[in-house]
Amino acid sequence: MLESIKTFASHFFVTGDPMIYGADASIVLVTVAILFVLTYFKKWRWLWDEWLTTVDHKKIGIMYALAAILMLFRGGVDALLMRTQLAFPNMHFLQAEHYNQIFTTHGTIMILFMAMPLMFAFFNIVVPLQIGARDVAYPYLNAVSFWLFFFGAMLLNLSFVIGGSPDAGWVSYPPLSELAFDKGPGENFYLLSISISGIGSLATGINFMVTILKMRAPGMKLMDMPLFTWSILATCIIIIFAFPVLTIALALLFIDRLAGAHFFTMLHGGNPMMFINLFWMWGHPEVYIVVLPAFGIYSEVVSTFAKKRIFGYKSMVASMMLISIISYFTWTHHFFTMGSGADVNTFFAISTMAIGVPTGVKVFNWLFTMYRGRIRLTLPMLWTIAFVPCFAIGGATGVMLAVAPADYQYHNSYFLIAHFHQVLIGGVVFGYFAGLYYWWPKMFGHVLNEKLGRWSFWFWNIGFYVCFMPQYALGFMGMTRRLYTYPHGLGWSSLNLVSTIGAFMMGIGFLFQGAQILHGIKFGKRDTTGDPWDGRTLEWSLPSPAPHYNFATIPQIKGRDAWWTMKEEMKQPGYKKEPVHIEPIHMPKSSGRPFIMSVFFFIAGFGLTFDWIWMGVIGAIGVGITLLARSFEYDTDYYVPVDEIERTEAALGRL
């Protein structure tokens, strides 16, 4: 009995590596510390009432952002471990198995549990405020989405200490990811965690599409919407069509693994190529899912800090819509070398180059928004300016990769690694940083320290080029990706060392940002105006942070740059403020069910990961019951009374 428990435990808990013992210890310590702090300060009630059960989109947005920043840390540590291993030839820092797990979790976490939730943070924090709405279309569903993402991410992170991490790459191509070659639970962790959080992503796409189409303040025509909101609309369209494809692909692979089906095996008529096609039918649109919101952020930041209307608004909208369509006709460029005919490769080569046109157009429009403007070099603007050359080069190498015959030489090499990090970091991460700095006051009510921010900016930027430019060269030297080690004498050593140094510089940049956040919590200057940047869109008409009902009275919109126009009006001589007429506001009630239901999803996911069907069934029953309970609930909303609104607004100096 004792023996069998022992063997079980030694398979269940990953052991035998100091790094994992370290992780174990820190997980236990952090958990104990959190439990202690919550109990000592009697914060359990507060945590439950204010956060775990909230359906307020602004709070959900903040939770998304915090979780994403934590995941950026985790993914970043992975990156530094890999770069350390690659710093010198024949290093013995990580074993092959361990390296493979790390690049798999790094890629998965960065794309699905860092970029996606950070993007959803902006959806939540900004969109309703920008369109003059009191809430999102389905607040309850919104909470469900968040908790599904959260527990999906937890499930993947758990794999590091329990059972073992996935190691077939973040794309997990079969047959490598089939049972025949990959026994352990790692691959199941991957499949289930992404599937669980993917349900949430799809729901968010639907939620915000409806919000944008249905809940705009009166007078706001589609062509009056701020470009950020436009970018989210384009993103939602892609999400709605792309995520079901991923869900199906992963489900089929999971059925192969759990039930011995043969969708993607090599035998009994299965076809691994089908998975690769399905994966990238989601995967390529996915890169536009994460970069379009960043484009939206750049548009807002450029016009605010160049103090000028955005140049070529119609072009900007058209280009985003074009991108959202063309992104579905490019997926084959991820496997030009998989033996499609020359005709197929040519088609996808040209469609891929074509997507560069609308993307390039946006860059010129941003440039000409700065032209004849008045540029303030604040942190959001700095990141935007740094984005332009980085993304221009990354976009150019993207066009180079699209040339199918040339891609035979780049495919799976470090040239590719350099390219996609350049667009993912230079395009997506820089953009989200710009967005965080820009909307931080709106989220938390204080402004972050400039000086620390500038240090971080320079470390990130210089570190970026030091890290990734050598990798283009390494690609030309024939270095392939996913190598855990390489020998002397291929000429790869010095460039790899340089690259590692650059990675650590970015790590320092991240530390400065951590310091900046802590500094902000303690000393951050309060934003009392609600409009610290002299903004142009509606969110800046509200106090920072906005009250839970957002707008005491819904604004009337007359054209683009709504808040800017209102400010201009107020400056007119003889402007008289209209008397505010406050009515009770209809709001959704908090609910613990999204959280509880996601816990059941987590239980089901964990059980299925280890093929414990009984546990999967328990989880599924729990999910079913919570769903059922919800459909019998009638008391889901309430009215904020007028006097409470008046008190709040008066305290904010708004009456």
Partner 1 sequence: MKLRTLLSRMKWFFTVALATVMLTGCNGQFVVLDPKGPVGKQELDLIILSTVLTLIVIIPVLIMLWIFVAKYRDKPGNKAPYKPEWEDNKTLEIIWWGIPIVIIGILGVYTAKTTFALTKPPVQNVAPITIQVTSLDWKWLFQYPGQKIATVNYVEIPAGVPVNFVLTSDAPVNSFWVPQLGGQEYTMPGMALTLWLQADKPGSYLGMGANFTGEGFAHMRFHVIAKPQSDFNAWVNHVKQTAPALTKAGYQNLTQPSVTDQMSFSSYPDGLFEATVNKNGGIYMPMQQGNMKKEDTPADNNAMKNMKMGQ
Q: Name the site residues for Cu ion (rule: CB under 5 A).
A: 273, 284
User: How far apart are CB 209 and ligand HEM at their closest, in Å?
Assistant: 24
> Which CB sits closer to ligand HEM, 429 or 495?
429
Q: Which does 574 bind (CB under 5 to 8 A by kind): Cu ion, partner 1, ligand HEM, none?
A: none
| Contact of 168 with 97, CB cutoff 8 Å | no
User: How far apart are CB 232 and ligand HEM at their closest, in Å?
Assistant: 18
Q: Which does 261 bind (CB under 5 to 8 A by kind): ligand HEM, partner 1, Cu ion, none?
A: none
User: How far apart are CB 60 and ligand HEM at their closest, in Å?
Assistant: 22
| DSSP states of 573-614 | TT--PPPP----EEEEPP-SHHHHHHHHHHHHHHHHHTT-HH
Q: Which does 266 bind (CB under 5 to 8 A by kind): ligand HEM, partner 1, Cu ion, none?
A: partner 1
Pairing mode of beta strands 525-526, 446-447: antiparallel
User: How far apart are CB 499 and ligand HEM at their closest, in Å?
Assistant: 8
Q: Which does 284 bind (CB under 5 to 8 A by kind): Cu ion, partner 1, ligand HEM, none?
A: Cu ion
User: How far apart are CB 458 and partner 1 at their closest, in Å?
Assistant: 6
> Which CB sits closer to ligand HEM, 104 or 384?
104
| Contact of 363 with 302, CB cutoff 8 Å | no
* Orientation of helix 227-259 relative to helix 186-214, angle to 10°: 150
Give the C-alpha separation, 287 to 171, whole Å: 13
> Which CB sits closer to partner 1, 496 or 591?
496
- Interacting residues toward ligand HEM by CB under 6 A: 76, 79, 82-83, 103-104, 106-107, 110-111, 115, 169-170, 417, 421, 424-425, 428-429, 467, 481-482, 503, 506
Q: Which does 389 bind (CB under 5 to 8 A by kind): partner 1, Cu ion, ligand HEM, none?
A: partner 1
Pairing mode of beta strands 637-640, 585-588: antiparallel
> Which CB sits closer to ligand HEM, 136 or 466?
466
What is the gyration radius of the CA atoms in the chain, in angstroms?
A: 25
Q: Which does 361 bind (CB under 5 to 8 A by kind): partner 1, Cu ion, ligand HEM, none?
A: partner 1
Residue nearest to Cu ion (CB): 284
Residue nearest to ligand HEM (CB): 107
> Which CB sits closer to Cu ion, 226 or 283?
283
Give the C-alpha separation, 292 to 431, whole Å: 10
| Contact of 316 with 299, CB cutoff 8 Å | yes
| Contact of 148 with 199, CB cutoff 8 Å | yes
User: How far apart are CB 334 and Cu ion at their closest, in Å?
Assistant: 5
Give the C-alpha separation, 182 to 256, whole Å: 12
> Which CB sits closer to partner 1, 350 or 652?
350
User: How far apart are CB 121 and partner 1 at their closest, in Å?
Assistant: 28
Give, as one character, the DSSP assignment of residue 526.
E
> Which CB sits closer to ligand HEM, 158 or 417?
417
> Which CB sits closer to partner 1, 52 or 363?
363
| Contact of 119 with 228, CB cutoff 8 Å | no
> Which CB sits closer to ligand HEM, 333 or 593?
333
Instruction: Name the region of 574 (left: φ>0; alpha: ψ -120 to 50; beta: rest).
Output: left
Burial class (CB in 10 A: 0-12, 13-18, 19+), 146: buried
User: How far apart are CB 204 and partner 1 at their closest, in Å?
Assistant: 31
Using alpha carbons, select from 396, 404, 403, 402 the residue that is nearest to residue 422: 396
Q: Distance of CA 79 to CAs 163, 388, 395, Å? A: 22, 24, 23
Q: Which does 506 bind (CB under 5 to 8 A by kind): Cu ion, partner 1, ligand HEM, none?
A: ligand HEM
Give the C-alpha separation, 33 to 429, whole Å: 31
User: How far apart are CB 75 and ligand HEM at their closest, in Å?
Assistant: 6
Q: Which does 490 bind (CB under 5 to 8 A by kind): Cu ion, ligand HEM, partner 1, none?
A: partner 1
Instruction: Extract the tokens encoding 376.
Output: 């303030």
User: How far apart are CB 248 and partner 1 at their closest, in Å?
Assistant: 20
User: How far apart are CB 82 and ligand HEM at their closest, in Å?
Assistant: 4
> Which CB sits closer to ligand HEM, 334 or 593?
334
> Which CB sits closer to Cu ion, 273 or 620?
273
Give the C-alpha separation, 499 to 451, whole Å: 26
Q: Distance of CA 478 to CAs 373, 376, 414, 554, 594, Å? A: 46, 44, 8, 60, 49
